[in-house]
Structure formats: C-alpha cells, structure tokens
Amino acid sequence: MNFSSASQLHWTSKSFADTVKTQALRPLILAYVANVHRSLFSHELLDCVMHSTGLHERARYRVRMQTLARPFINSDDLQVVKDSLRAMAKAEWLTFRTLAFPGERDIPGDPLEPGDREDILGSVIAYADGGAALQATLENQVTNTWTAVESLYRRLCREACHVRDLHSVPSIKPIDPDALRFASLPSARKSYRQVFGPDPIPAAMSDQALDILSSLRHALEHNAGYCDLEYLNRVDSYPALPKAKMGDKILLDGPATLAFVQAVIPVAEGLIHQVDDWIQSRL
C-alpha cells in the first residue's frame, strides 16, 4: 500500500497551478500543494515504522510470556517466538533499506525474499494502534494538513476580497481584508459570505470533509487530543470521527487518518477552481 498517494492527487505543484486562470492565485497554490504533498509523503516512511514497531511489541510480548512460562514451553511456542523475531528482523531491514536505498528494488545481499515486502507492508496498519510516537506522527499529519488547508482558504478569500473591491460598483462598500476572520471554520465561512455576497459562497467551503478534519484538529490542538463534551457533540454530528469516551485520549489509526486527509484534497481543489472562476467573472 503506497500512502504517498502522489498518483491519487492527479496534479503536481506546477501542473495544477497552470490550470488556474488567475495569475495571483498561482503562488499560494504552489505553497499549498507542497505542504499537502509533504504531509502525504510522510506516510510512506510511516508504513515501515508502524509495522516495525508493531512487530517489536509482539515479539517482546511473546518473549516475556515464554520466559514466564519457561517450565511449560513446547516446540510450537518456541517456533512462534522464532517467527516473530525473524519477521521483526526483516522489518528492521526494510526500514533501513527504505531510508538508505529509496526506490531501489534489487540490492546485493538483500535478505528479503520475493513477496516479503508485500507481506510486511500489507499488514502494516493492523499494528498501528499503539505507541506514542506513532500517535504523535498521525496527529501531526492531521494538524499539518489542516494548516495547509486553512492557509489556502484564507489566502483565497483575501485575494477574492481584493478583486471584489477593485471591480465593484461604487455603491458597494469595500471590505477591510484585515477585518476578515479565519481562526475557526465557522468564522471562515462567515468571511466568505461577506466577500462573495450576494453570491453564494463556493460550495467547497460547505463540504463536510472540512468539518471532520477541523473537528479532529481542534481536539488535538486545543484539548491535547483528549475527548471533551465539544468533541462528543461533534462525533454525534460527524460519525466518521474516531470514537472516544469523555476524558479519554482520542486514538488515531493509519487508514482513518489517511482517509480524513485525502477527503479534503478534492475539496480544496474544488475551492481553488470555484474562487478562480468567481474572480474571472468579475475581471
């Protein structure tokens, strides 16, 4: 499973920026795409780290259990420990190989047999439900992606505001860009209504994918990742959010985190084109 997802984006920084008609939007698109790519590409290394950590924990657990039960150990139990340690060693090598020889498929002396890579990486997410480092990495992916999206819609709205004031009839009162607020998703939507009114705001700004990622990011940034009443209310509104009990840590896993991140990518792409079209209609 390739979590870099570059092929799923359908664009690179320059090629996507070139599809936009408004020249002033291109620099902010280049920055946005670079930020999102950085977040997505981190998952490729995360594949190796998560699986390696999962194997470590399983092997350590089995060794501990077998040590405690040494008087009762049998050949089947011993084989389980050996298999775990062998798989752990392969995962360790795979992690090193990915870092030292990126993209290389054939390395002299490679201990991995055909199919080992797929077997190891194919089950990576099954063991990603523990470990503070993994949790922190997934949390960072959420917050970093949201920061990229938030910066994008803020800069798009300010550019639209600039065009609105330059090309509006005299009877329309100019808007002070510094008075627009983007600290939260509701305040950002209010700012879009101010700038785009009487036209409806771009449909992408109302997409639920933004609410889900924003809700998760809010809990991580403002409540240290613990579930409170506000988060419980958001889970009621958006059932796709990770479940947690009041006061418990909100635990992330690889597939869900990646899904939240990937869901906002087409939304952001749509927002860029919608704002671009709106600006072009007023030039």
Question: pLDDT tens digits for 206-249?
Answer: 999 999 999 999 999 999 999 999 999 999 999 999 999 999 98
Task: Summarize pLDDT for 164-220 with one digit per residue, the tens.
Answer: 888 765 667 888 888 899 999 999 999 999 999 888 889 999 999 999 999 999 999
In a domain, 125, yes or no: yes
Q: How many domains does the chain have?
A: 1
Residue type at 180 in one-letter notation: L
Residue type at 249 in one-letter notation: K
Q: What is the mean pLDDT of residues 134-145?
A: 83
Which H helix or E strand runs over 14?
Answer: helix 13-17
Residue-level pLDDT at 169: 56
In a domain, 45, yes or no: yes
Residue-level pLDDT at 94: 62
Instruction: Check whether 41 has a pLDDT greater than 50.
Output: yes
Domain membership of residue 143 as a residue range: 10-280
Question: Which tokens sit at 225?
Answer: 């990742």
Residue-level pLDDT at 223: 92
**Using the 8-state DSSP alphabet, how is residue 124 labeled?**
G
Q: Among all chains, which residue has been given the structure tokens 């049998």?
A: 74
**pTM for this structure?**
0.67
Instruction: Check whether 60 has a pLDDT greater than 90.
Output: no
Task: Summarize pLDDT for 76-135 with one digit per residue, the tens.
Answer: 555 655 665 566 666 666 666 655 555 555 666 665 565 555 454 444 433 433 355 667
In a domain, 185, yes or no: yes
User: Residue 29 and residue 15: Cα distance in Å, rounded?
Assistant: 11
Contact 63, 81 (CB under 8 A): yes
Would you place residue 53 in the very low, low, confident or very high pLDDT band (cuts 50, 70, 90)?
A: very low
Would you place residue 33 in the very low, low, confident or very high pLDDT band (cuts 50, 70, 90)?
A: confident
In a domain, 246, yes or no: yes
In a domain, 5, yes or no: no
* Most confident region among 15-29, 31-45, 190-204 by mean pLDDT: 190-204
Alpha-carbon distances of 212 from 60, 185, 215, 255, rounded to whole Å: 36, 11, 5, 15
Residue-level pLDDT at 197: 84
User: Residue 283 and residue 281: Cα distance in Å, rounded?
Assistant: 6
In a domain, 207, yes or no: yes
Comparing C-alpha atoms, which of 96, 118, 122 is closest to residue 107? 96
Q: What is the mean pLDDT of residues 240-267?
A: 88
For the chain, give the number of residues. Answer: 283
In a domain, 1, yes or no: no
Residue 186 sits at the vertex; the CA angle it makes with 184 and 187, to the nearest 5 degrees, is 65
DSSP string of 60-77, one letter each residue: HHHHHHHHHTGGG--HHH
